[in-house]
Amino acid sequence: MSPAYYDGRMSRTSDRETIRLRQRIVLGILLLALFALAAYVVEAFTAVVVVAVFLYYAVRPIYRFLRRFDLGKRVRAALALVLFGVPFLVLLVYTISIVLIEAAQLVEQYGVQDQLVRSVLEADLGGIELSELEEAIAGASATAPLASFGTGLLGVLGMASSLVVQTMILVLLTYYMLIDGPRFVDWLLETFDRDGVLTEYVRAVDPELSATLFGNIVNIFVTAAVGIVVFTLYNLVAPSIVQVPFPALLGALAGIGSLVPVIGIKLVYVPVALALLARLVVEGDYSALLYVAGFVAVVGVLVDAIPDLVIRGLISGENTHTGLLIVAYIVGPAVFGLYGLFLAPILLVLLINAGLILVPYVVSGELPDTKQATLPEFAETPDPEGGPKSSPGDGPAGADRATGVSPHREP
């Protein structure tokens, strides 16, 4: 063979590689554009996706519990959403509505809203007379009542339709995360995780999210619900002089206070009890002193001790610091809005476990010391429903606390 033949062959091979490289670049650009479009769509529904993740962890124990009744995955997912998800969302909306109503009553009672609006107007309007502005607004409102009503009606209809759409997306996301989530996670790990670091990361994150996100949120809402009921029932039997003001609002604050270690909701009911005692002293009427003592005893047992002992003992995280969780619950809503109550703890858990697992791998190229897998953990048992197989991660270290099942695989 002549040198010219080899040169021509090498040239053709180089041309083919160049064409393949160009195709890969074009496909890569298309892939980036596709991911950017998907990220844009997800960004528009960030709150729905975050709440769906929380709802997934909330209904997953029920979904797995129903397995013992030999039900299909789709039936179990639907039942789990109906038995827990829908009632929980209704209770959540009702609780938030009651709290907002009482908060509005509190603002109206003490005239905080008028003072705030007036201070803002006076600070920002400069030389414009406040009285002239009020007269102009009143005249505009009087001349266009029908337009205002139509605009308000359209706004309400728009909000209602948006709420319906977001609720449907939320339910569908949670439903398919239950039935197809484990298979999707297995595919990601088998495709992209050659060193096992992502498997170790998922194995650590999943039970921590289940305990931290679902556990602490459930602790908040259970404590708040019990507090609202106890405070309301107390007001039904107590004299007016020692009744608790704004019971729903104080019950919600009690739920938030349950995050504080050691002290807990004592930050709420102890000052309330002291305020009731101070009212008795000021009025010089000590006939209702027993009601205050009963209030402290009942709240201390039913709202403080029992939820803390029962719930926190069953659903407590191992790696997530309680103080950081409190900061996350405070900063999350302030930064991201209402859904930040769920998003901030998720980010906190991801960051903590990334520091424990991913950072050492990136720095040294080696996995951190973990529990050595035993031979039974490598036994592959097919899912009778056609789901993914069990894998090395399905052991006690990665099992769900409530069911003993691997956190990210459906056995």
CB 258, CB 265: distance < 8 Å: yes
Mean pLDDT over 155-163 rounds to: 76
400 pLDDT band, cuts 50/70/90, is very low
Tokens 């040294």, located at residue: 364
pLDDT tens digits along 120-154: 455 444 444 555 555 655 555 555 555 556 666 67
Q: What pLDDT, in 10s, does the model give residues 258-317?
A: 766 667 788 888 999 999 898 888 888 788 889 999 999 999 888 888 877 776 655 555
Alpha-carbon distances, residue 218 vs 224, 225, 307 (angstroms): 10, 10, 10
pLDDT of residue 382: 45
pLDDT digit string, tens, across residues 21-42: 888 888 889 999 999 998 888 8
- pLDDT value for 146: 57
On whether the pTM is more than 0.85, the answer is no
Look at residue 385 in the predicted model and tell me its pLDDT.
Answer: 46
pLDDT score at 234: 92
- At 109 the pLDDT is 63
